[in-house]
Amino acid sequence: MKLFLEKLTDRTTLSEEEMTLAAESLFSEEISDSEIAAFLIALKSKGESSDEIANLVQVLRKKALRITRRFDDVMDNCGTGGDGSQSFNISTTSAFVIAGAGITIAKHGNRSVSSKTGSADVLEKLGVDLQAGPSEVEELLIENGIAFLFAPHIHPKMARIMKIRRELKIATVFNLIGPLTNPVELTSQLLGVYRQDMLEPFSKVLHSLGRKRAVIVNGAGNMDEASLQGTNNLILLDNGNTKRFTLHPEEVNLPVYDNQAIRGGDAAENSQILLNVLKGKKGAYRDTVLLNAGVGIFTNGKAETIQEGVALAKESIDSGKALNKLETLISYNRTKSGVI
C-alpha cells in the first residue's frame, strides 16, 4: 500500500495490476483504517482515471454475493448522487415505469448518502424486502421483471470501508461508483452523474464493464438525473461506439420545470410521491419520471428514439403496468414472510 500511496501522491496513475492489488488490499485485515482512508484521499486528490475506476469496480463486484444466472437483456438505472438537489427518488420511480414497459430491471441501491432519502429508504417504507438474496433476486427478475438489490446486503464485505467513508465525511471514488457495482451482468445501463466532466470517463468504464448499450446523463442544473429545467448533456454508448448529444424537454414534448419543483422530503413523503406518479397523478414529478424512464427505455434499445421512449413510459403508467411491478415486489415480501 505504501508504494501505491507514493505513486498517487506523485499524481501517477496506477496500472491495471497495481489498481487491482490496491483494491484487493482494501479488504485485507493487515491494512489499517488510516491506510484505507489515505488511499481514498490520495486517489481523489490525483483524480480517478477511467481505468482505475473500472479495475476497482471489477474487484468490488467479485467480492459481492454472486448472482450466477445470466439474462439475455437486463438493465439498471441509477444516479451517482451528490448533486445536492434534494429531489424525490427519480430513478427508483422510473425503474418501475421502465419495468412496466417490458424491460427487466435489476435495481441496485442504498440508503441515503447525499440526499434526504435513498432508494432503500423509500422502498422499505413501501414494504419492499431489502434482504433479498441472490436466489430471490433471480426469481424476482424472472417472475416480476424487476428486483431490488440492497447494496449493504449484496456487498457484505464493504462494511468496513463504509464505516471509514462515514468517518471521512468527504466524497471519494465510492461516491461515484455505487451504480457500477451491481453484481448482475447488465447488458444496458442508464447512469446519471452530477459532474459533466465525468460523462466521457464513465462511458469508458461502462464499456470496460461489458455494457452493450448505455447512456450517461448530466442533467440541467448538474443533476444526476435527466432534468426538465433545461438542456441535458448525454453520451450514448452503443456496442463500443460513443455519441455525445443534448436533450431539451421540449424536444420530447414535455414542459419545462425548475428543479425546485421536484424537491422531495423524508421516506414517507417520497414514497407517497412515487405512488402518486405510478397511479397517474399529473405534474412535475410525473413529467420528470416520463423523461427519465423515456431515456431509460431508449438506453435499453426498446425504443429507437427518446420521444418513443417517453410514449412507452406514459403507456406503462397509464395502463397500470408500472404500479403492478411495485405491488408484486411488495407482495413477494409478504408471501415470503407468511403475511397474506
**Residue 109 known to bind ligand:** yes
Pairing of strands 241-247, 232-238: antiparallel
Q: 224: annotated binding-site residue?
A: yes
The answer on whether 265 is annotated among ligand-binding residues is: no
Q: Any binding-site annotation on 135? A: no
Separation CA 209–CA 89 (nearest Å) = 26
145 appears as a binding residue in the annotation: no
| CA distance to 13, 20, 77, 266, per residue, from 325 (Å) | 44, 38, 16, 23
CA angle at residue 293 from 290 to 297, to 5 degrees? 130
204 is an annotated ligand-binding site residue:
no
Q: Answer yes or no: is 112 a known binding residue.
A: yes
256 appears as a binding residue in the annotation: no
Q: Annotation-wise, does 225 bind a ligand?
A: yes
Instruction: Report whether 208 belongs to an annotated binding site.
Output: no
Annotated binding-site residue? 84: no
Task: Give the whole-angstrom CA distance, residue 50 versus residue 277.
Answer: 36
Q: Is 129 annotated as a binding residue?
A: no
- In Å, how far are 19, 116, 165, 187, 217 from 196, measured between CA atoms? 25, 23, 24, 24, 8
Is 299 annotated for ligand binding? no
Q: Is 292 annotated as a binding residue?
A: no
CA distance 101 to 141: 14
**266 among annotated binding-site residues:** no
On whether 195 is known to bind a ligand per the annotation, the reply is no
Pairing of strands 213-218, 188-192: parallel
Nearest-10 Cα torsion for 49, 51, 55, 57? 60
d(CA 179, CA 195): 15
The answer to whether 239 is a known ligand-binding residue is no
Flag whether 253 is marked binding: no
Q: How far is the C-alpha of 88 from the C-alpha of 260, rounded, in Å?
A: 11
- Residue 180 CA to residue 163 CA, distance in Å, equals 20
Instruction: Report the relative pairing of strands 213-218 and 232-238 from DSSP bridges.
Output: antiparallel
115 is in an annotated binding site: yes
Binding-site residues:
79, 82-83, 87, 89-92, 107-115, 119, 165, 224-225
Binding-site residues for anthranilate:
79, 110, 165
Binding-site residues for Mg(2+):
91, 224-225
Binding-site residues for 5-phospho-alpha-D-ribose 1-diphosphate:
79, 82-83, 87, 89-92, 107-115, 119
